[in-house]
Structure 1
């Protein structure tokens, strides 16, 4: 504890010292562009919006508002041709003539601009230019979902399935370049869910609410160290333009079952404040058909004893309300105070009839069972945020602070009704009907606070520093009851439990970035102290941990010439167990399958190195190596009941992952553009499983591509697809998967509306097949779902469409690991 606080204190003390010591504001860009805006009476034009646009295509590069003096300063402006756009409710829109920022120029003074008074309602200013579907940046890959047609009307999980380097398995677990342990953020904030709950949320989140997906394999020290495979940040659409504006969206999809989404996004901005709010509702019915084959062998002989064949046909309707509302108060030109609340309220249901049959080696039935399972879940999750931003001077010195309070409530009611039959198909009198119910309430309370400070030194050196603390408390109970008579239930002490868990993480970081001629450097160090306590109250068992870890990051970039750039990066990261995976409950899935948490599960540590080459700013080749110790792996083992198995998580020894990937945009014709991504990677797992040595190796291949076609008359189309070869995850073999989707869109209503029609998984090929054949275990699994869906969607934008100024959101890591419920 003392070590961490000394580390944090040294960072903040250094930041405070440098803030006091600096007396002259420093420029932080290639060139500084300055100027002044005056009203018709020659007084300063206060708080007008200015955009720096590229002259060749009018795409926005930077944006700001004037202060009380009517002046403005743009920093870090690179050489090129630009124009300024000036907009305000009180004045007519104004555009400057093109001007040039030349190489080696450090400051450029523009002529004073005098605006004309507005005599009528201003027409909206439209910034021309569409973002490319995929952008490669210094520390991340950006998928611009708003530019995708085939993603419209779908879900967030379907968006990720089309993203470069991302693989999603049948349970919605996400891996990046063959590595599991990905941290998912929403608007830079964790989701306060376990991995399973994150998957359920993404399966039901409308893609219409998503603006971008940021993929970071080696995030800088500013981000929490969680997520050994990297970070995926899903940025939701925000209505944050000047004046009043908003949008509405609706979609209807038809697969085997119907699915609908609808939402509204509103924003109202004035000089002193900005009010915003979003609401999205989804009503979906999904299905899942699961086939399992489990072979059991006679002890000591290795001969097949019998097999268990299971088929489950699940129907899963869900309803979810997701919302966000807040206000930003512009206290003065340099400080902003914000308040925000977001959350979700919803229900999920599973009707899960399951047929199980025991067969001998000659495939003759030795008995069977039929289960009618019914599970209902409900949740309400609220997160409250207070944030503050202070711009200390025009050099780029900035202080931000966030406090979050989240409370998540989740409840589940389970009812299992199983009837057993003999080999002749008649009800077995020696094996009476089993009727069981489960009541599972769960709550999680999370409080986090953090502060970040940015301080430039001269033109090309910048320091970032900050500190964060978080406190998590979860309370999980599970009570199972066996039916004795029609209205009489007996409590099952062996299956019931009560588990409380608390966690406190204190963190601090410091990061330096510098440009020197053709070199760019960035080094950072993050320290995190973790204190946990798991109390299994039923048997009075307490597991405590207290440890401190350091997480360094480093990047170096070298511009060989205008056509060739190389970059090398390194990071050390941690992936802590989900709260749910630490919970030692026995969660019954069916009479032959149950799940158990592991309170002794250790966090896994990963060290990753990447080397990249970018040709002509477009063609990227990346070589990566990652080693993970104490890798957490889901394993299956024989259960305590006859013919049963259980699923749990255990630490294997190591995972080695290395590979090479290629990303390129392709222009086939003026009307046909494409983005392609290909990756070849090798996974190796070593450790112990059921007292056997694990040494599994597999080289895999992944490819995806998006094609955009312009037809004319406002019509555009898109065709996308992916292919994943055979992969491994611990002891699990994952067989190849592929999918092709296509869509078309047209702008209508004076380009304020967009209508889209797309078909996801045209050939209905997206299915999961896997196997576990290790250490006496022989399991085959097949899983299919409602993947082929035709969707018609509509979006309409209204109000002032001037340039955007995005709201800030805080960033916490704990959220990915708390049970919350399905979205």
Structure 2
């Protein structure tokens, strides 16, 4: 097996770095350290001594499996000596290496616990809630009180520069098109599907959120405004241990969340798993006021909607890591979720020829039953090829997303007097959708010398989506199939990519050059109607430069070219009716958008961080609403250009020893321009800003956090988005040697968060006012159990190693 693996790795290295290979040419000595109970001793210091004079020949540390290894050992006689804190020193018998022996395994060396009792020293440290690193901003959710009782989407809304709109679209520094990754892996989901996944991810399972505004060539080129990487917790302890978190809370209705995490580490194998369950009923009240021109007259629509929903989720992750050799770790992770939900909506629409005058009205009730399911499998392998940093890693991934939605919409028509105007309209929709994702990637890194590093890699992904809309209609009689509304849309996409990076370190700075190539083939097929095929090759260069001007002044510059391919559902050209006057439609001819991103960043004393950004996007994708007659429909279109400017200021500070905090100011401008857009034109934009601050207070054994946010009004495409603001707070305390943590929090303390928009572009004239049940009281208890004393190294998959080489490791 070792020979086979060796040949495979050698072949792949040849392919990745055009000629680099490795071979074992010298003898090797390896062995294992255990305590008097046979438990491996990790991170012990091991020395190879010359038996004749006890001179040190080589030194190393044991792995978390207690294994050590010395390569390239010359023929001779040696002694293995080991020492570790808390144990008496130990040594092996004399080991004799002859010239014809390729390797030698030393019998296990047993170390006894030291009899001397050391004074107990308690070291308390915690990462700040928000850290600013050279290429990313990291939100350390793991120790945040505000994470208690929240899901991943709610936590993401608190991140600096991040906003989530009413349709679950995520924006970063005023720009949409953010790619979201979980544990360094793309999700390949639409905004709605991604929101479902993030809502099913309990906040207690999240370790950190990384915001990477200008990714390097190692990352997929998708995402014009950057990447948000959600890191889930990984266990770092030996033995058997875990945690149980229970949260209950009250908005309009009671909510509950539960998560269980278990880990067992023994020998060369680490087993781990998590399970989460939640019940989260939610409410939204919405009113829409539309004015539609009808010749020389106007028609006024006044719509009021109550939108309660019941949503539950169950999610899990199980996995194993196996150290097959001291330098080779295999990993397998299986994860999934189910997210059933029910939306029970009630809408009354008043229609009149004058404001406030009701000529007729509609009452629509709808019940939508949905159930999203996901299953994902990851196999990873990481190989250390030598002791100077040469590594090779692999990742194989498969994911299946299944979403089933069954909807019934009943609309009754009335005269202003309350009499029946005509027969009701009853619509039924069944919309099963399946997404299959396959991907494989390999990454190779080799230090060329002490200051230069070469990296390269390749990736292939294949995605297939199958959306099947089955519709029925009734006008007072029995239901019949509605062939005009039924459709099946199948989309396939294959992307082959390769990248290379060169990094050079200087005395006072560094420079990195990268180039990524991606070849895309796609086909969108509305069965029996429209089929669109595309194939294109793109190059995506990147440049990163940083310079230390003085001990307190640092400057950096970055540039990258990015791409955003259309969402799968946005390509479906079929018309989907919400009511007789409102519908949505995709665009099969939607093109990818391309963006040039530049950033200039300055840091003073590692605390005051200022970033200036500029982006230019061609064929920008934009959500628009078109009014035709007395009907309104929503779609996605390409506009000629989008220009963005931004300034971001972030700084942590300390008022007193017990009071610390940070502030984040993000000012930006997003301007869209297109001369011909569905018969109209847009050329607009507005300066806007988002201000966030977090205060951390320590009162004895109690810790408190307060977060406040203010978003100014802004213009985005055809929409005018009104200001938003809110305050959240939490307090917590640990008990029983930190085994039990209790947290109490209140989101949106003053119940001020709203999502209100309006538009007067492209012949539109509407105002939408929306209020969710954002004020939410929650109580969270976390219990940590098992062995929490022996720290182990954090196991990293190949994709995580890629991330750490980018300079963002924690």
Which category describes the TM-score, using the shorter chain as reference length? 0.7 to 0.9
- Aligned match of 2:406: 413
Offset at residue 152 of structure 1 (A): 1.5
Offset at residue 383 of structure 1 (A): 0.9
- Aligned match of 1:599: 588
- Alpha-carbon contact 1:499-1:583 (below 8 Å) kept: yes
- Aligned match of 2:650: 663
- Partner secondary structure for residue 196 of structure 2: helix
Q: Structure 1 CA distance, aligned partners of 2:117 and 2:232? A: 30
- Alpha-carbon contact 2:13-2:20 (below 8 Å) kept: no
- Alpha-carbon contact 2:14-2:20 (below 8 Å) kept: no
How is 1:32-43 mapped onto 2 (pairs within 5 angstroms)? none
How is 1:303-342 mapped onto 2 (pairs within 5 angstroms)? 305-342=298-335
- Aligned match of 1:522: 512
Q: Is 2:684 the partner of 1:696?
A: yes
Q: Structure 2 CA distance, aligned partners of 1:457 and 1:46? A: 35
- Alpha-carbon contact 1:746-1:756 (below 8 Å) kept: yes
- Aligned match of 2:350: 357
- Partner secondary structure for residue 484 of structure 2: strand
- Alpha-carbon contact 1:177-1:681 (below 8 Å) kept: yes
Match of 1:677 among 652, 664, 671: 664
Task: Decide whether aligned partners of structure 1 residues 521 and 65 sit closer, same or farther in structure 2, where only a CA change above 3 A counts.
Answer: farther
- Aligned match of 1:110: none
Query: Higher RCO, 1 or 2 (CA under 8 Å, sep at least 6)?
Result: 1
Q: Is 2:340 the partner of 1:347?
A: yes
Q: Structure 1 CA distance, aligned partners of 2:798 and 2:468? A: 31
- Alpha-carbon contact 1:444-1:472 (below 8 Å) kept: yes
Q: Structure 1 CA distance, aligned partners of 2:362 and 2:147? A: 41
Task: Decide whether aligned partners of structure 1 residues 530 and 190 sit closer, same or farther in structure 2, where only a CA change above 3 A counts.
Answer: same
- Alpha-carbon contact 1:171-1:199 (below 8 Å) kept: no
Offset at residue 527 of structure 1 (A): 0.5
Match of 1:170 among 166, 183, 198: 166
Q: Is 2:499 the partner of 1:497?
A: no
- Aligned match of 1:109: none
1:503-560 deviation digits (Å, cap 9, x = unpaired): 1100001111121110211111111000001111132x21100000011111000011
Number of aligned positions between the proteins: 740
- Aligned match of 1:270: 266
- Aligned match of 2:363: 370
Offset at residue 629 of structure 1 (A): 1.0
Q: Structure 2 CA distance, aligned partners of 1:23 and 1:361? A: 90
- Aligned match of 1:774: 761
Match of 1:17 among 16, 19, 25: 19
Aligned alpha-carbon RMSD (Å): 3.0
Q: Structure 1 CA distance, aligned partners of 2:548 and 2:469? A: 58
Match of 1:396 among 377, 386, 389: 389
1:782-810 deviation digits (Å, cap 9, x = unpaired): 11111000100011111222335444456
- Aligned match of 1:584: 573
Q: Structure 2 CA distance, aligned partners of 1:120 and 1:443? A: 63
How is 1:82-231 mapped onto 2 (pairs within 5 angstroms)? 116-117=112-113, 128-231=124-227
Q: Is 2:779 the partner of 1:792?
A: yes
Q: Structure 2 CA distance, aligned partners of 1:734 and 1:510? A: 41
Q: Is 2:433 the partner of 1:442?
A: yes
- Partner secondary structure for residue 146 of structure 1: helix
Long gaps (5+) in structure 1? 1-8, 25-35, 52-61, 73-83, 95-112, 813-823
Q: Is 2:503 the partner of 1:506?
A: no
Long gaps (5+) in structure 2? 1-10, 46-60, 72-81, 91-108, 801-810
How is 1:360-759 mapped onto 2 (pairs within 5 angstroms)? 360-428=353-421, 431-483=422-474, 488-539=478-529, 541-639=530-628, 643-687=630-674, 688-712=676-700, 714-759=701-746
- Partner secondary structure for residue 406 of structure 1: strand
Task: Decide whether aligned partners of structure 1 residues 12 and 694 sit closer, same or farther in structure 2, where only a CA change above 3 A counts.
Answer: farther
Offset at residue 490 of structure 1 (A): 1.0
Q: Structure 2 CA distance, aligned partners of 1:182 and 1:566? A: 25
Task: Decide whether aligned partners of structure 1 residues 66 and 484 sit closer, same or farther in structure 2, where only a CA change above 3 A counts.
Answer: closer
Q: Structure 2 CA distance, aligned partners of 1:125 and 1:337? A: 36
Offset at residue 126 of structure 1 (A): 7.4
Task: Decide whether aligned partners of structure 1 residues 133 and 200 sit closer, same or farther in structure 2, where only a CA change above 3 A counts.
Answer: same
- Alpha-carbon contact 2:726-2:749 (below 8 Å) kept: yes
Q: Structure 1 CA distance, aligned partners of 2:663 and 2:611? A: 14
- Alpha-carbon contact 1:205-1:282 (below 8 Å) kept: no
1:99-126 deviation digits (Å, cap 9, x = unpaired): xxxxxxxxxxxxxx99643799999997
- Partner secondary structure for residue 630 of structure 1: strand
Q: Structure 1 CA distance, aligned partners of 2:792 and 2:769? A: 46
Q: Structure 2 CA distance, aligned partners of 1:287 and 1:655? A: 35
- Alpha-carbon contact 2:671-2:716 (below 8 Å) kept: no
1:454-499 deviation digits (Å, cap 9, x = unpaired): 111111211111101111112111011112566x311111111111
- Aligned match of 1:28: none
Q: Structure 1 CA distance, aligned partners of 2:511 and 2:25? A: 25
Q: Is 2:753 the partner of 1:760?
A: no
- Partner secondary structure for residue 781 of structure 1: strand
Q: Is 2:16 the partner of 1:48?
A: no
How is 1:218-257 mapped onto 2 (pairs within 5 angstroms)? 218-257=214-253
How is 1:22-33 mapped onto 2 (pairs within 5 angstroms)? none
Q: Structure 2 CA distance, aligned partners of 1:557 and 1:278? A: 40
Q: Structure 2 CA distance, aligned partners of 1:608 and 1:270? A: 47
